[in-house]
Amino acid sequence: MSSHSEKSYAESGGAFVPSIQGLRGIAALTVLICHFRDMPKGGMPDVPGAGFLPPIWPWLQAVLNSGGHGVELFFMISGFLIPASLVRHASIAKFIYDRVLRIMPLFVILHLTLFLVGPFVGYKFFRGLDLAGYLEIFIANLFFLQNALGLPIAQQNAWTLTYEWAFYIWFALTFCAVVQLKNWWLAAPMMVVAAIALFYWPIAAFFGIGMLFSATNIRIPASGPLGLAAGLICFAAMYAALDLFHPFVSLIPGFLLFGMVLAPGSGVSTILKASPLQYLGKISYSFYLVHPFMLFPLQMMGLKLVERGYDRWLLWSGFVIIGTVLVLIASAMSYELIEVRFRRLIDSVFRNALFGKRAARSPA
């Protein structure tokens, strides 16, 4: 998705940006941490003593829960990469094709897996669901319409793909009006749509931060230990502001953080180039979508064992440690088998048929 699904390229020049790759890894990791707190609660996050989450300090629960705001980091990354990607493609059809090729193979495989296996393992909304309701939820989630139709979301993290696709379509139409047709009057309705979207879904403003940095040379070169400290403060302030204030307040530390991430030699940029974060960033799309599937069996096991009197600390520690290992293994396999090999196979079948033999392959 762009953020989950686009290579970390400064698309305008084709140069790889390692700090973006590392930031994507951090975003995926914080979402996982959030689910380490949320899933042990057994679907009852506000009920004290529910599930197998041990009695940790309220402030620590709040910190863990804030990890879900990694999605806003993903949105900033998308806003930075996607506009330049469309410019590079110079074709809306090719741009959409590559977005579909990048996002849909893994998503569809997980979608089919969930709807085939879910009814047999008692997954959430499948309980007591009739065939008509099953098909309705299946189709709505396949086309990212579940929120608009007020239906349950199937894949726990896939709601962000609705935002991503909306951004792709919005920017493609705006690009067509302004760049290809050179008609600002046609772009005016898209500005109205953007204003309405920001009113109802203010976190969409994080796409704008990425777009601003994509369109300008603004960078914040805060180097050394002090620069790293400044970046960490902005990171914490952004997450905290999203929990405590309006999302627009969090745009300020988000802007400062992203400026430091993009600045070569900054303290934050240097840390994000570390090999573990680079690898995690590379597999982050699989990591993001696959990890709820890997944690679900452990969640069910933990909920059953806590009812039998097993210690919550033991169960939670096992959930975190074993879950982390399983998620990393499954994500690495998913990346290699689906994101690389299977996608390459699909591309070899369809690209030439749609665009001709001379169609350039996307670096994504």
Q: Is residue 13 scored above 50 in pLDDT? A: no
| Reported confidence tier of residue 364, pLDDT bands at 50, 70, 90 | very low
* pLDDT reported for residue 15: 61
* pLDDT reported for residue 127: 82
With residues binned 3-state (H G I as helix, E B as strand, rest as coil), the percentages for the chain, rounded to 5, are 75, 0, 20
Residue-wise pLDDT for 181-237, tens only, equals 888 898 899 999 999 999 999 999 999 999 999 999 999 999 999 999 999 999 999
| Reported confidence tier of residue 260, pLDDT bands at 50, 70, 90 | very high
pTM (2 decimals)?
0.91
Q: Is residue 162 scored above 50 in pLDDT? A: yes
Q: Is residue 361 scored above 80 in pLDDT? A: no
Residue percentage of the chain with pLDDT more than 70: 91
Residue-wise pLDDT for 27-38, tens only, equals 999 999 999 999
What is the dihedral sign for C-alpha 236, 238, 239, 244?
A: positive
Least confident of 46-55, 141-150, 290-299, 348-357: 46-55
- Helix H or strand E segment including 112: helix 92-121
